[in-house]
Structure 1
């Protein structure tokens, strides 16, 4: 005697995986758009180098520059492709 029937269990796992996948995609999109919004708000530097005190690695000051636009577009296309695959599979 099973608490969850065989057919109900398959439906449960489909919904569970779908919710986790959609949640992960939403968090990735939030990360991408949040980083872009932060750098657009700090776009007062005409050279695009950003403030040098933001990152310090082994005593070397690194400018706080935004993610390159091509990388942002590739990240967005990856998110859209994953969403299309997820919705097409269901």
Structure 2
């Protein structure tokens, strides 16, 4: 029971750190004249919802990875380096797809 409470707390902390990080990164940008703050754009409901969904998606992905690793550990299976290389390549392709 204690482990589940700790895991939930860690996951909740991860979500809030990600949400804060994404919101702060979107709060300002730097150009030749200096820092430009985007207070009005960053406080819109659509922007806040986008940050929330992004942090939630990353947290759910983290939870899924943890559950997969625990199930594999129960079955005494190990993943080779090729699986992680393939996963990294897929993530890189998805990032490239979403950027373009």
- TM-score normalized by structure 2? 0.37
Larger Cα Rg: Structure 1 or Structure 2?
1
Whose relative contact order is higher, 1 or 2, with alpha carbons under 8 Å and at least 6 apart? 1
- TM-score normalized by structure 1? 0.41
